[in-house]
Structure 1
């Protein structure tokens, strides 16, 4: 794997915000930054037209201006550019092959808070196994664009029933690089019969809560040992996972969620929890693929 961070640029404010976020991430990692523009300029078996040539020039102008702006802000950053003629989702996936991370912009829900994942963004998330980070451009996201997010918490959603090394490795590494608090959240729900008769009691709830906290501590213990300098805030809370994560991630510097890799083309999705976080988090969201 090469260390570079790939950013998809399309000229939108969201993609510009993503490029600035990725530039600071590249500096944290000591990695090169690769700016990519992908667009379908010409149909197969059709020669170049005046329109396609104009779009190519516009693409290179976009990349050059973005590169110049980022170089001015970060003179030490190694920046390269590339433009593709092809389907954007497939082109971005090819560009990200072997990279350490792919960063995309994602537009907000108008006056609502959150992400809108279009067909391209969703296809890219499904099509790559590298971490994909989605960044939005809004007043809420301004601290992220200006780099003030680096000292804010990293929040990761975990499931003690399905431990995921890839998810925890990414989250601990990010918190370590940023020297910030890592907030690991595991959620649990009452058993289906907890609302009936003697099955519902404070003592029973207390025992369940203690079991969940113990399971979370056991899962995180090896990671505490590997990252002793990381300030870890681990919590097991009662309630719907997506709601608890969004509440915990309010004001965070980065949200980290997982998606299970599905080798079959049938039923490809990112799961309801990741889906909710992607659509409603105001912080950048990293989607980590795992088996």
Structure 2
């Protein structure tokens, strides 16, 4: 069986929007959809049967919505018990992609103000897409000729935030497989103390931008050749990476960023750029782990 696209649901409007996004992505990838609801049993003696019934309703609600809005997608559903972050990570081990709400309801039944989503992003070994409430199929597409929302037009850009100092293949490939691509490399004027012979920072600002654009074109060329059907726009922009990416993702259908999986003394983290993207970008954000 092909690995599924997995969506975590908790009964909130945010998680239902994420499940619908996951269903559309499953259809695009020709994969089944797996809905997973993680919950933690309460110690109160009177919470058992009613709590269990409530958890089943969460999955039924999500299944009914997906079958109504994406009828061609194969769907299965599962309850997993335990702390949400660990339970979702365990359930994701056989998945191709995980989709979660970037915000969800508080309480034991679901995500606590995004902490579960961030915890999964920080520890997952596969791509995780975070989706905000209100995300609809038409948000992925260009407006119709009269400016109205449409699902019959071409797709909006997929924005790839690329660090030319660490251009990871897994991150680039995920973005190319997503669709029409806008690649952005943020850069800042380096400190003279950090320069070595031949560094780009030894030339003036406009020339630095041209040099970075040349590097970006060289990195992307092999991917252009591999995916000739993908239209690619390349941009280098001076400024802090988090600010550049938030601006570049305005109006996009998806922002793709990488996350290094190497352990740090403080344990798994999302990193400042990824954290800023998750908090401030309006479109879905795909976080792709890499070495």
Are the aligned partners of 2:255 and 2:285 in contact in 1 as well (CA < 8 Å)?
A: yes
How much has 1:42 moved relative to structure 2? 4.2
SS in 2 for 1:97: helix
> Does residue 170 of structure 2 align to residue 174 of structure 1?
no
Worse-superposed segment, 147-156 or 51-60: 147-156
Which residue in 1 is equivalent to 2:167? 163
Worse-superposed segment, 127-136 or 68-77: 68-77
Which residue in 2 is equivalent to 1:206? 206
Structure-2 separation of matches of 1:250 and 1:264: 32
| CA RMSD in angstroms, aligned pairs only | 2.5
Higher RCO (Cα < 8 Å, 6 or more apart) = 1
> Does residue 248 of structure 2 align to residue 251 of structure 1?
no
How much has 1:225 moved relative to structure 2? 0.4
Are the aligned partners of 1:249 and 1:281 in contact in 2 as well (CA < 8 Å)?
A: yes
Residues 2, 128 of structure 1: alpha-carbon distance in 2 compared, 3 angstrom cutoff: farther
Are the aligned partners of 2:103 and 2:114 in contact in 1 as well (CA < 8 Å)?
A: no
> Does residue 90 of structure 2 align to residue 84 of structure 1?
no
Q: Can you list the C-alpha shifts for 1:159-180, whole angstroms capped at 9, x where unaligned? A: 11111001001000011xxxxx
How much has 1:227 moved relative to structure 2? 0.4
> Does residue 24 of structure 2 align to residue 20 of structure 1?
no
Residues 8, 164 of structure 1: alpha-carbon distance in 2 compared, 3 angstrom cutoff: same
Structure-2 separation of matches of 1:119 and 1:274: 14
Residues 33, 147 of structure 1: alpha-carbon distance in 2 compared, 3 angstrom cutoff: farther
How much has 1:54 moved relative to structure 2? 1.4
Which residue in 1 is equivalent to 2:50? 54
Which residue in 2 is equivalent to 1:112? none
* TM-score, normalisation: structure 2: 0.85
Which residue in 2 is equivalent to 1:273? 273
Equivalent pairs, count = 267
Q: Can you list the C-alpha shifts for 1:39-79, whole angstroms capped at 9, x where unaligned? A: 11145xxxx94312211111112211221221122222110
SS in 1 for 2:94: coil
Which residue in 2 is equivalent to 1:231? 231
> Does residue 126 of structure 2 align to residue 130 of structure 1?
yes
Structure-2 separation of matches of 1:172 and 1:117: 31
Worse-superposed segment, 207-216 or 252-261: 207-216
Q: 1:19-168 alignment to 2 at 5 Å?
A: 19-42=19-42, 49-107=45-103, 118-138=114-134, 141-142=135-136, 143-144=138-139, 148=151, 151-168=155-172
Structure-2 separation of matches of 1:192 and 1:289: 29
Residues 265, 136 of structure 1: alpha-carbon distance in 2 compared, 3 angstrom cutoff: same
Are the aligned partners of 1:259 and 1:270 in contact in 2 as well (CA < 8 Å)?
A: yes
Q: Can you list the C-alpha shifts for 1:170-194, whole angstroms capped at 9, x where unaligned? A: 000011xxxxx20000011112249
Are the aligned partners of 1:21 and 1:144 in contact in 2 as well (CA < 8 Å)?
A: no
SS in 1 for 2:204: helix
Residues 203, 121 of structure 1: alpha-carbon distance in 2 compared, 3 angstrom cutoff: closer
Superposition misfits of 4+ residues, deviation over 3 angstroms: 141-150
Which residue in 2 is equivalent to 1:290? 290
* Unmatched tracts of structure 1, length 5 or more: 109-115, 176-180, 195-200
Are the aligned partners of 2:11 and 2:62 in contact in 1 as well (CA < 8 Å)?
A: no
How much has 1:264 moved relative to structure 2? 4.8
Structure-2 separation of matches of 1:236 and 1:85: 46
